[in-house]
Amino acid sequence: MEALRQKYPQAEITSLARPSVAAILRHHPAVDKIILCDDQGMHRGLGLFSMAQNLRGQKYDVAYILPNSFSSALMMKSARIPKRIGFSTDGRRWLLTHPVKKTPAIRSIHETCAYLSLLDGLPPSGAPVQPKLYLTDEEVKTAADRLEALGVNRNQLLIGLVPGAAYGTAKRWLPERYALLTQRLVQTSRAQVILFGSASEAEVAKTVEEKANCAIFNMAAKTGLREFAALLGQCSLVVCNDSGAMHLAAAVGRPLVAIFGPTNPVTTSPVSADSHLVRHPVECSPCLLRHCPIDHRCMRSISVDEVYMTVLGVIERLPESISS
């Protein structure tokens, strides 16, 4: 969005987004307007044409189509937007006026750079640009107040733990190892641990809480997306899998330790100067599968000791007022 604003400084930029994505873009200085597109509900199937008719009346000049789906390109063509730019995947080349081929070079760079290539059709030569989520002062205060109501000591180390991953079980480090990690952090670092996760990840968080058997704050399935981001922003550091939470933690400027297994850190690692990856390369990784068909060796090979020592290294670099 910031790159679009730089390219079109005088333009009105509208984001057409799913409700969850719209929440991330709220208050973004480069976005003038947000239109909700419920492609899993009222705008699914033939419903996309009603959205296209609405867009047609707005008389947009250019559409950058970030989803790779056929339906998203069909909607923009049906909206009669004269310039339509997107990747020529999923048989939709004929729907785009400026199709960009997803070449091996584009597929081999970080995804943030890959999307930036839509601006000129070439892979960007620079390093990935760190995305940023813009929280309001009120959202930050509300998050701080909620932690206080939970009984969190703001003068003590607070570690956010996100043991889930919406994409599938293959991206999840074992819950029992998250539990052992929690025990160690509470016992040896005097840390307070707060668990996060979506409704679909609440069971995983509950498992970690029960197996850890120590003082822990469980906020899984108890926050909206923006409140979740604001609460992450209150943490001293975040430990998670390769997940949306990982990118949110980076976007709110938190130090983080990310555990990688079946995914490729070259293309999906967090864009942050203070991120630390724990990964054991194995012969079948990155496989990009949702569920491991064999023995989950990429995750099972990562020990509690290794993650714990990585977290300790991050703690040692925190300001003394936070890490003490």
Give the model's pLDDT for residue 310.
Answer: 97
Residue 101 lies in a domain: yes
Residues 169 and 249 in one domain: yes
Cα–Cα distances in angstroms (integers) from residue 108 to residues 98, 112, 126, in the given order: 21, 11, 14
Q: What does the CA dihedral 169, 40, 118, 130 come to, rounded to 10 degrees?
A: -50
Q: Which strands, in side-by-side order, build the sheet including 217-218? A: 217-218, 192-195, 158-162, 237-241, 256-259, 275-278
Domain-embedded: residue 196: yes
- Residues 271, 253: contact at Cβ < 8 Å? no
Mean pLDDT computed over 5-33: 93
What average pLDDT does this structure show over 113-125? 84
DSSP secondary structure letters along 280-292: ---TT-S---SS-
Q: Tell whether 77 is covered by a domain.
A: yes
* pLDDT of amino acid 238: 98
144 and 85 in a common domain: no
170-182 per-position pLDDT tens digit: 999 999 999 999 9
* Same domain for 289 and 161: yes
Q: With cut-offs at 50, 70 and 90, classify the pLDDT of residue 263.
A: very high
Mean pLDDT of the 236-265 span: 96
* Same structural domain, 156 and 293: yes
Average pLDDT over residues 251-273: 95
Do 153 and 76 have their domain in common? no
311 and 242 within one domain: yes
Tell me the pTM: 0.92
**Is residue 284 in a domain?**
yes
Lowest mean pLDDT among 35-39, 78-82, 242-246, 268-272: 35-39
What is 158-226 written as a DSSP string? EEEEE---TT-GGGPPPHHHHHHHHHHHHHHS--EEEE---GGGHHHHHHHHHHH-S--EE-TTSS-HH
Give the pLDDT mean for 112-130. 83
Residue 193: φ, ψ to 5°: -120, 130
Domain harbouring 240, CATH code: 3.40.50.2000
Q: What percent of the chain has pLDDT over 90?
A: 84
State the Cα–Cα distance between residues 143 and 162, nearest whole angstrom: 17
- The pLDDT value recorded for residue 43 is 73
Position 160 pLDDT exceeds 90: yes
Same domain, 267 and 226: yes
Per-residue pLDDT band at 38 (split at 50, 70, 90): confident
In the chain, the amino acid numbered 26 is R
- Residue ranges making up the domain that contains 210: 137-323
Q: Among 37-41, 66-70, 166-170, which is the least confidently predicted range?
A: 37-41
Q: Evaluate if residue 150 carries a pLDDT over 80.
A: yes
Residue range 105-115, pLDDT digits in tens: 999 999 999 99
Phi and psi (nearest 5°) for 289?
-85, 150
Does 26 score more than 70 pLDDT?
A: yes
What is the model's pLDDT at position 323? 58
Q: Band the pLDDT of 324: cuts 50, 70, 90.
A: low
Nearest to 272 by CA among 261, 258, 259: 258
Mean pLDDT, to the nearest integer, of 90-107?
Answer: 93
Give CA–CA dist 247/250, Å, rounded. Answer: 5
CB-based contacts of 9: which residues, under 8 Å, 6+ apart?
A: none
Q: Is the same domain home to 112 and 149?
A: no
- How much is the pLDDT for 322? 61
Q: State whether 106 and 190 are in the same domain.
A: no
pLDDT of residue 58 exceeding 70, the answer is yes
State mean pLDDT over 143-169. 94
Q: What is the mean pLDDT of the chain?
A: 93
Question: Is pLDDT of 125 > 60?
Answer: yes
Instruction: Calculate what percentage of the chain has a pLDDT beyond 70.
Output: 98
pLDDT tens per residue, range 207-218:
999 999 999 999
Least confident of 100-109, 131-140, 305-314: 100-109
Q: 91, 119, 147 — which closes off a domain?
A: 119
Task: Write down the pLDDT at residue 233.
Answer: 97
The structural domain count of the chain equals: 2
Q: What is the mean pLDDT of residues 226-245?
A: 97
Residue 250 class from Cβ within 10 Å (0-12 exposed, 13-18 middle, 19+ buried)? Answer: buried
pLDDT at 303 over 70: yes
Which pLDDT does position 280 carry in this prediction?
A: 93
3-state helix, strand, coil in the chain (%, to 5): 40, 15, 45
Q: Which of 58, 91, 119 is the last residue of a domain?
A: 119
> 114 and 53: one domain?
yes
171 in the same domain as 285 = yes
Residue 146 phi, psi (nearest 5)? -65, -40
pLDDT, residue 321, reads 53
Confidence (pLDDT) at 42: 72
